[in-house]
Protein backbone atom coordinates (compact mmCIF):
# COMPACT_ATOMS: atom_id res chain seq x y z
CA UNK A 1 0.00 0.00 0.00
CA UNK A 2 1.35 3.44 -0.91
CA UNK A 3 1.34 6.05 1.81
CA UNK A 4 -0.86 9.14 1.55
CA UNK A 5 1.87 11.48 2.75
CA UNK A 6 5.58 11.53 3.58
CA UNK A 7 7.19 12.79 6.77
CA UNK A 8 10.79 13.91 6.96
CA UNK A 9 12.47 12.53 10.09
CA UNK A 10 16.04 13.80 10.54
CA UNK A 11 16.78 11.24 13.25
CA UNK A 12 14.87 8.17 14.37
CA UNK A 13 14.04 7.99 18.08
CA UNK A 14 15.67 4.88 19.53
CA UNK A 15 15.11 2.65 22.52
CA UNK A 16 17.96 1.63 24.84
CA UNK A 17 18.10 -1.62 22.88
CA UNK A 18 18.89 0.31 19.71
CA UNK A 19 15.51 -0.43 18.08
CA UNK A 20 13.29 2.33 16.72
CA UNK A 21 10.92 3.75 19.33
CA UNK A 22 7.65 3.57 17.37
CA UNK A 23 5.71 5.43 20.06
CA UNK A 24 7.95 8.49 19.66
CA UNK A 25 7.62 8.71 15.88
CA UNK A 26 5.75 11.85 14.70
CA UNK A 27 2.16 11.27 13.63
CA UNK A 28 1.17 12.28 10.09
CA UNK A 29 -1.01 15.34 9.76
CA UNK A 30 -3.87 14.80 7.34
CA UNK A 31 -3.73 18.47 6.46
CA UNK A 32 -0.40 17.70 4.75
CA UNK A 33 -2.16 15.50 2.17
CA UNK A 34 -2.41 17.30 -1.18
CA UNK A 35 -5.15 16.04 -3.52
CA UNK A 36 -5.19 16.77 -7.24
CA UNK A 37 -8.85 17.77 -7.57
CA UNK A 38 -11.26 18.86 -4.85
CA UNK A 39 -14.96 18.92 -5.78
CA UNK A 40 -17.24 20.28 -3.03
CA UNK A 41 -20.52 18.58 -2.04
CA UNK A 42 -23.37 19.27 -4.49
CA UNK A 43 -26.36 18.52 -2.26
CA UNK A 44 -27.40 18.13 1.38
CA UNK A 45 -26.77 14.38 1.46
CA UNK A 46 -23.20 14.76 0.20
CA UNK A 47 -22.67 17.59 2.72
CA UNK A 48 -23.79 15.34 5.59
CA UNK A 49 -21.42 12.53 4.56
CA UNK A 50 -18.66 15.10 3.99
CA UNK A 51 -19.17 16.40 7.53
CA UNK A 52 -18.93 12.86 8.94
CA UNK A 53 -15.58 12.48 7.16
CA UNK A 54 -14.35 15.83 8.47
CA UNK A 55 -15.34 14.85 12.00
CA UNK A 56 -13.45 11.55 11.73
CA UNK A 57 -10.33 12.79 9.90
CA UNK A 58 -10.14 16.19 11.66
CA UNK A 59 -9.49 18.10 8.40
CA UNK A 60 -11.51 19.15 5.36
CA UNK A 61 -9.04 19.31 2.47
CA UNK A 62 -10.84 16.81 0.23
CA UNK A 63 -13.83 16.59 -2.07
CA UNK A 64 -16.65 14.20 -2.86
CA UNK A 65 -14.74 12.39 -5.63
CA UNK A 66 -11.47 11.82 -3.78
CA UNK A 67 -11.12 8.19 -2.73
CA UNK A 68 -11.26 7.37 0.96
CA UNK A 69 -7.71 5.99 0.74
CA UNK A 70 -6.40 9.26 -0.73
CA UNK A 71 -8.31 11.19 1.93
CA UNK A 72 -6.36 9.34 4.62
CA UNK A 73 -8.90 6.79 5.83
CA UNK A 74 -7.62 3.61 7.43
CA UNK A 75 -9.46 0.37 8.12
CA UNK A 76 -10.23 1.64 11.63
CA UNK A 77 -11.41 5.12 10.66
CA UNK A 78 -13.54 3.78 7.77
CA UNK A 79 -15.39 1.62 10.32
CA UNK A 80 -16.37 4.83 12.12
CA UNK A 81 -17.79 6.18 8.86
CA UNK A 82 -19.66 2.93 8.19
CA UNK A 83 -21.15 3.11 11.69
CA UNK A 84 -22.17 6.76 11.26
CA UNK A 85 -23.88 6.03 7.92
CA UNK A 86 -25.72 3.04 9.39
CA UNK A 87 -26.89 4.98 12.45
CA UNK A 88 -28.24 7.82 10.31
CA UNK A 89 -29.51 6.04 7.18
CA UNK A 90 -29.77 2.33 8.17
CA UNK A 91 -27.60 1.40 5.18
CA UNK A 92 -24.93 -1.27 5.67
CA UNK A 93 -21.68 -0.58 3.82
CA UNK A 94 -18.87 -3.07 3.23
CA UNK A 95 -15.42 -2.05 4.46
CA UNK A 96 -13.74 -3.84 1.55
CA UNK A 97 -15.86 -1.91 -0.95
CA UNK A 98 -14.93 1.43 0.59
CA UNK A 99 -11.18 0.87 0.85
CA UNK A 100 -10.48 0.87 -2.88
CA UNK A 101 -9.56 3.52 -5.42
CA UNK A 102 -13.14 3.96 -6.71
CA UNK A 103 -15.00 4.59 -3.44
CA UNK A 104 -15.77 8.12 -2.37
CA UNK A 105 -18.41 10.35 -0.77
CA UNK A 106 -20.32 10.64 -4.04
CA UNK A 107 -20.63 6.85 -4.22
CA UNK A 108 -21.97 6.57 -0.66
CA UNK A 109 -24.58 9.24 -1.43
CA UNK A 110 -25.74 7.25 -4.48
CA UNK A 111 -25.97 4.06 -2.39
CA UNK A 112 -28.07 5.84 0.26
CA UNK A 113 -30.43 7.18 -2.42
CA UNK A 114 -30.61 3.79 -4.16
CA UNK A 115 -29.47 0.88 -1.91
CA UNK A 116 -29.57 -1.54 -4.85
CA UNK A 117 -26.82 0.45 -6.58
CA UNK A 118 -24.23 -1.05 -4.23
CA UNK A 119 -24.84 -4.47 -5.78
CA UNK A 120 -22.32 -5.09 -8.55
CA UNK A 121 -23.64 -7.43 -11.21
CA UNK A 122 -21.04 -9.37 -13.14
CA UNK A 123 -22.03 -11.40 -16.16
CA UNK A 124 -20.65 -14.93 -16.08
CA UNK A 125 -21.14 -17.81 -18.41
CA UNK A 126 -23.38 -20.38 -16.76
CA UNK A 127 -21.95 -23.88 -16.91
CA UNK A 128 -22.72 -27.24 -15.42
CA UNK A 129 -19.11 -27.70 -14.30
CA UNK A 130 -16.47 -25.14 -13.40
CA UNK A 131 -12.66 -25.49 -13.21
CA UNK A 132 -11.02 -25.67 -9.81
CA UNK A 133 -9.36 -22.62 -8.33
CA UNK A 134 -5.67 -22.95 -7.32
CA UNK A 135 -6.72 -23.15 -3.65
CA UNK A 136 -9.19 -25.94 -4.38
CA UNK A 137 -6.61 -27.85 -6.40
CA UNK A 138 -4.09 -27.63 -3.56
CA UNK A 139 -6.67 -28.71 -1.00
CA UNK A 140 -7.85 -31.64 -3.10
CA UNK A 141 -4.27 -32.75 -3.72
CA UNK A 142 -3.62 -32.76 0.04
CA UNK A 143 -6.77 -34.74 0.75
CA UNK A 144 -6.09 -37.32 -1.95
CA UNK A 145 -2.51 -37.78 -0.77
CA UNK A 146 -3.27 -38.00 2.94
CA UNK A 147 -6.10 -40.50 2.94
CA UNK A 148 -4.47 -42.48 5.75
CA UNK A 149 -4.96 -39.69 8.27
CA UNK A 150 -7.80 -37.39 9.19
CA UNK A 151 -5.89 -34.09 9.09
CA UNK A 152 -8.15 -32.60 6.44
CA UNK A 153 -11.15 -34.77 7.23
CA UNK A 154 -12.58 -33.82 10.58
CA UNK A 155 -15.36 -36.05 11.79
CA UNK A 156 -17.74 -34.86 14.49
CA UNK A 157 -20.66 -36.36 16.38
CA UNK A 158 -23.15 -33.78 17.62
CA UNK A 159 -25.40 -34.38 20.57
CA UNK A 160 -28.43 -32.21 19.93
CA UNK A 161 -31.50 -31.65 22.09
CA UNK A 162 -34.42 -29.80 20.58
CA UNK A 163 -36.25 -29.61 17.29
CA UNK A 164 -34.03 -31.70 15.02
CA UNK A 165 -36.08 -30.92 11.90
CA UNK A 166 -35.72 -27.16 12.37
CA UNK A 167 -32.00 -27.60 13.02
CA UNK A 168 -31.64 -29.66 9.83
CA UNK A 169 -33.55 -27.06 7.77
CA UNK A 170 -31.42 -24.23 9.20
CA UNK A 171 -28.24 -26.16 8.40
CA UNK A 172 -29.35 -26.84 4.82
CA UNK A 173 -30.28 -23.17 4.35
CA UNK A 174 -26.84 -22.12 5.62
CA UNK A 175 -25.09 -24.51 3.24
CA UNK A 176 -27.16 -23.35 0.26
CA UNK A 177 -26.32 -19.71 1.00
CA UNK A 178 -22.58 -20.43 1.06
CA UNK A 179 -21.04 -21.15 -2.37
CA UNK A 180 -17.94 -22.71 -0.81
CA UNK A 181 -19.75 -25.18 1.42
CA UNK A 182 -22.14 -26.43 -1.25
CA UNK A 183 -19.40 -27.02 -3.83
CA UNK A 184 -18.44 -30.61 -4.54
CA UNK A 185 -15.93 -32.18 -6.90
CA UNK A 186 -16.81 -34.07 -10.08
CA UNK A 187 -14.53 -36.25 -12.22
CA UNK A 188 -15.45 -35.76 -15.87
CA UNK A 189 -13.35 -36.92 -18.85
CA UNK A 190 -10.39 -37.62 -16.55
CA UNK A 191 -10.49 -34.03 -15.26
CA UNK A 192 -11.68 -32.75 -11.88
CA UNK A 193 -14.29 -29.98 -11.84
CA UNK A 194 -16.44 -28.32 -9.24
CA UNK A 195 -20.21 -28.23 -9.23
CA UNK A 196 -22.69 -26.38 -7.08
CA UNK A 197 -25.15 -28.67 -5.37
CA UNK A 198 -28.41 -27.39 -3.91
CA UNK A 199 -29.30 -29.43 -0.84
CA UNK A 200 -32.93 -30.31 -0.15
Identify the DSSP state of 198.
Answer: -
pLDDT in tens, 29-50: 555 555 567 889 999 999 999 9
Residue 14 has pLDDT above 80, yes or no: yes
User: Does 44 lie in the same domain as 103?
Assistant: yes
User: What was the pLDDT predicted at 163?
Assistant: 82
65 touches 37 (CB < 8 A): yes
**Helix segments in the chain, DSSP class H:** 44-57, 68-71, 75-89, 95-98, 105-113, 134-144, 164-177
> Nearest to residue 119, comparing CAs of 87, 86, 88, 91?
91
How much is the average pLDDT of 110-116? 81
Indicate if the pLDDT at residue 171 is higher than 60. yes
Residue 27 lies in a domain: no
- The reported pLDDT for the residue numbered 173 is 79
Question: Is residue 6 one of the residues assigned to a domain?
Answer: no
Domain boundaries, position 111:
37-118
Domains in the chain, number: 2
Beta bridge partners of 20: 14
Tell me: the pLDDT tens digits for 53-89?
Answer: 999 988 888 999 888 888 888 888 889 999 999 899 8
Please check whether residues 152 and 179 belong to one and the same domain.
Answer: yes
pLDDT digits (tens, 9 = 90+) for 125-165: 566 777 776 666 777 777 676 655 554 555 556 676 778 88
- Give the mean model confidence (pLDDT) for residues 105-117: 83
- Write down the pLDDT at residue 51: 95
What DSSP designation does 23 have?
Answer: G
- Domain membership of residue 125 (yes or no) is no
Q: Of 95, 118, 141, which residue is a domain's last?
A: 118
Please indicate, yes or no, if residue 4 is contained in any of the structural domains: no
pLDDT over 80 at 106, yes or no:
yes
Q: Are residues 103 and 134 in the same domain?
A: no
In this prediction, residue 181 has a pLDDT band, given cuts at 50, 70 and 90, of low
For residue 46, the model assigns a pLDDT of: 95
Amino acid sequence: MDGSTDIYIPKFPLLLSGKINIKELPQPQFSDIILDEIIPPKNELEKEIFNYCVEILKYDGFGVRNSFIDMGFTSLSIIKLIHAVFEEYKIELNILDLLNDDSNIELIAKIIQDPLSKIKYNKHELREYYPLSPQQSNFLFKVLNSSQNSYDNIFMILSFKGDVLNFRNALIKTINLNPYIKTHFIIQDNNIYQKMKIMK
